Amino acid sequence: MSAQGGTATREGILAEVVKVLTELTEDWDVDFGAGLGADTRLVSDLSFESIDVVHFVTALEEHYGRRDLPFQDILMEDGKYVEDIRVGDVVDFLAKQFGAA
């Protein structure tokens, strides 16, 4: 279930991230329209607030059983927090961390 050790594929990671995100937002009062995918943006599409990002990161850490993933690399840019994040950016980040193909 967890993508580690360089065996993961980007598609596999995307599916896992979408699964985590679906579980996270299951009973939220937001309309996803076309459904979750790589192009979904957390803030503008899912109405994420900063505390929701924290819980999303926690959910991913729990899913992968890792607490050492440097999420600050995608959450911050030039010392400032980014305004929005695409699901695809999260997938790319994880793919890089897990050395995915």
Q: Which residues bind another protein (CB under 8 A)?
A: 23-28, 50-52, 54-55, 58-59, 62, 67, 72, 75-76, 78-81
Distance CA 32, CA 80 (A): 28
- At closest approach, how far in Å is the CB of 41 from another protein? 17
- At closest approach, how far in Å is the CB of 11 from another protein? 25
Distance CA 45, CA 49 (A): 11
Q: Select 27 or 35, whichever has its Cβ closest to another protein.
A: 27
